[in-house]
Structure 1
Amino acid sequence: MKHTFASAYKQEGGPVYLDCNATAPIEPVVRDAVLRWMTDEMGNAGSRTHEYGLRAKRAVQHARDQVARVVDGVGDEVVFTSGATESNNLALLGLAEHGVQTDRRHIVSTAIEHKAVLEPLEVLEARGFSVTLVRPDENGLVKADSIKDALRPDTLLVSVMHANNETGAVQPLVEIATALEDHDAFFHVDAAQGYGKVLESLRSKRIDLISVSSHKIYGPLGIGALIARRRGFKRPPLKALMYGGGQERGLRPGTLPVPLIVGFGVAAEAALKNQASRQVRCRDIRHQALAALEPLGIRMHADPDRTLSHVMNFSVPGVDSEAVMVALKDVAAVSNGSACTSQSYSPSHVLEAMGLPEEEIAGAIRVSWSHLTPDVEWPLLVARLDALR
């Protein structure tokens, strides 16, 4: 069977793909742009002595502008990376030297962050930094006042995710930004899940650093960015984690992957242009899901009114998530947590931080779709879950 975009979501006779928070298939227009730059174009964006290199450089600059426009930024604030994980590392570890030089070695973050933030924070703790992790409420939301109360005179950085990868809970970034107005701490947001989907909150100029990934917005895997905003005329004082070549203002050396960057730019532009219509489709799928699942008495693990429109995290009373994985394997590809930790399953640190009962954590299922997900056979999915009770 020829592989098409539709077959990426629903292979004939196979399960429908409902794990878009882990990664999403590539948009056709993005795929076409990537293939063009892999087959019909060539050139190193750092080669300025001939037309091939100049065309590549122009394509990269155009993509910077496209990526920045989503957050109301400018192109020269975009540092291309391999994805949000690398961006998070560059943002957190890259500020460490400045923290030492200014004797500001305190960091405020949250207990529900992705491992791509929590593990770099552990590295900083081992280097003598102190870290305060603010806990969320029962809906997975961190209160701005809790962030403000955790601030100290020596706080270097506040790092709060945009939307949680497991529950979809969208954090109150605007309120947190307001709480930081009288403090000089840098504000970093891991926006892997919310970039291009929830627009306004990332446009706050009080946010200094934004980590994003292409493959979450239907772009190619292996490319992302750290958007480092100027505060006044000053860029965040980041230091490189790798060396050799000087690309990306010396912050991320290596030959730029022009086809992936071009694809990322196209995906960002499409996300900005089509955000409203995508939301309508995703909300419609969620409405169908909630109506179908209601007879099972599911327990939702976040407030649907405060979550991304394409994510649900729930449990069926008395049903273990591992049993669900087996029962649904030919119906729907779903998840019981973050893709980064699924190979060695352990209880979700996110749901534990929310204070959920052990049985709900053990039964938690994450379902995530997109505007291009085909109609889901919810009655069949519900029948399989019902049989497990």
Structure 2
Amino acid sequence: MGVYLDYNASTPIDERVLDKMIDIYRNHFGNADSRTHQFGSSAKNIVENARKQLGSLLNIPSELIYFTSGSTESNNMAILGLESYGHETGKHHIITTAIEHKSILKPCEHLEECGFEVEYVRPHEDGRIHVEDVLNRVRPDTLLVSVMHVNNETGTIQPVYEIGEALAGKEVYFHIDASQSCGKLVEELRVQKYDLLSISAHKMYGPQGVGALVIKNKNGKKSALKAIMYGGGQEREMRPGTLPVALIGGIGEAASFLQDEYQNNRKKYEANRKMILEVLENSGIKYQINGDLTLGIDNTLNISFTDFSSEALMLTLQERALAGISNGSACTSQSYAPSYVLQAMGLDNQRIACAVRLSWGREAIQRELISQITKIVKAWQV
């Protein structure tokens, strides 16, 4: 199958997380909302402990955390959950960016159909949104600003800290999609100001199918966010449905060990990136890095190999069982459409067609693998 280099799509599950989940499935199978017996109490204890573990990683009170099925659901809750409040207050203006995940863009499109005005801020060619391009659009009727922390395609870190500082105290909700940064940029998230924050476990060595939405009080008042689904009273009536105890235990376990290991992991991410860039520089091939390296997270590179289509390279690596890479978000990879993120950055169509994304974890990447990839590209370019 080759070496896995698509961590931004989904990370492998950590063995410690898997062991924790297997124990829960075998020995703590009760419904966490069953209050009439010990089986339910045991399950509830696991849920609340996971809430504390995630709260500790983020340095926030655990009661601010609401478990979901992942960042897609969390993002939908954060945006659609403010619709009623927007109508009640006459705040029908939303600001987001043109490079957000589809789970942000699609709910925003839905609200446009419901009478909201949405402005989509474009990044500059370096892949980064400029703070003033966001703040200059804020109006008295602005309901929400939603900006991702790290772009999933380019790895570019967005200026959410500066935006959060500027919006603090204003009657504007600020939402951050932290799917690619939670568990990695730990210190940054701990000091970040926001009202809503989305997290997904499978981007941080946890299981697929679980995530969280952090909901903070707004200027001393209870958040105006409302549920977008209805059923039981789970998660304080914000998100109905029987809680997946084993999955929640898994995200808690991942948060716990990442709190201890994130600094060492960052060194490993950085070592991999340094090696890849060295091999590329010494290879003699023609390539371009998409996005400013000084603004990027250490586990991601978006590269255009001149005159070598991304589809051809991915198929070649797959056929030779060398590596698994991608050319964009896993949620849109089946469409084979040009990357809307790279288009928003103003890159030309040829450069976009040649772009691939490499994303990795804490495991060391062998220099020889990257050398083999460059040899494939060089043979095509000659």
TM-score, normalising length: structure 2: 0.96
> Equivalent residue of 1:22, what SS?
coil
The equivalent residue for 1:4 is: none
Q: Quick check: 1:367 aligned with 2:354?
A: no
Moved more, 373-382 or 58-67: 373-382
- TM superposition shift of 1:182: 5.5
Residue type of the partner of 1:375?
Answer: Q
Checking the alignment, whether the CA contact within 8 Å between 1:177 and 1:204 is kept in structure 2 is: no
* Counterpart among 268, 293, 296 of residue 285 in structure 2: 296
Please give the alpha-carbon distance, in whole angstroms, between the structure 2 residues aligned to 1:51 and 1:241.
Answer: 31
Q: Quick check: 1:99 aligned with 2:90?
A: no
The equivalent residue for 1:8 is: none
Checking the alignment, whether the CA contact within 8 Å between 1:17 and 1:373 is kept in structure 2 is: no
Number of residues of Structure 1 aligned to a counterpart in Structure 2: 376
> Equivalent residue of 1:158, what SS?
strand
Residue type of the partner of 1:40?
Answer: N
- TM superposition shift of 1:231: 3.0
> Equivalent residue of 2:212, what SS?
strand
- TM superposition shift of 1:374: 4.7
The equivalent residue for 1:160 is: 147
The equivalent residue for 1:315 is: 304
The equivalent residue for 2:273 is: 286
Q: Quick check: 1:332 aligned with 2:323?
A: yes
Q: How does 1:250-261 map to 2 (within 5 A)?
A: 250-261=237-248
Q: How does 1:1-389 map to 2 (within 5 A)?
A: 14-181=1-168, 183-204=170-191, 206-294=193-281, 295-329=284-318, 330-375=321-366, 377-389=369-381
Report sequence identity in percent.
Answer: 45
Residue type of the partner of 2:377?
Answer: L
Checking the alignment, whether the CA contact within 8 Å between 1:140 and 1:354 is kept in structure 2 is: yes
Unaligned runs of 5+ in 2: none
Please give the alpha-carbon distance, in whole angstroms, between the structure 2 residues aligned to 1:297 and 1:341.
Answer: 27
- TM superposition shift of 1:232: 4.6
> Equivalent residue of 1:243, what SS?
coil
Please give the alpha-carbon distance, in whole angstroms, between the structure 1 residues aligned to 2:236 and 2:291.
Answer: 40
- TM superposition shift of 1:373: 4.8
Checking the alignment, whether the CA contact within 8 Å between 2:169 and 2:219 is kept in structure 1 is: no
- TM superposition shift of 1:56: 1.0
Residue type of the partner of 1:361?
Answer: I
Residue type of the partner of 1:206?
Answer: K
| 1:5-33: CA deviation from partner (whole Å, max 9, x where unpaired) | xxxxxxxxx31000000001100110100
- TM superposition shift of 1:112: 0.6
Q: Give the 4+ runs in structure 1 shifted more than 6 A.
A: none
Checking the alignment, whether the CA contact within 8 Å between 1:155 and 1:185 is kept in structure 2 is: yes
> Equivalent residue of 1:343, what SS?
helix
The equivalent residue for 1:11 is: none
TM-score, normalising length: structure 1: 0.94
CA RMSD in angstroms, aligned pairs only? 1.2
Quickly say closer, same or farther: Cα 1:299–1:373, change in 2 above 3 A: same
Please give the alpha-carbon distance, in whole angstroms, between the structure 1 residues aligned to 2:297 and 2:235.
Answer: 32
Residue type of the partner of 2:358?
Answer: V
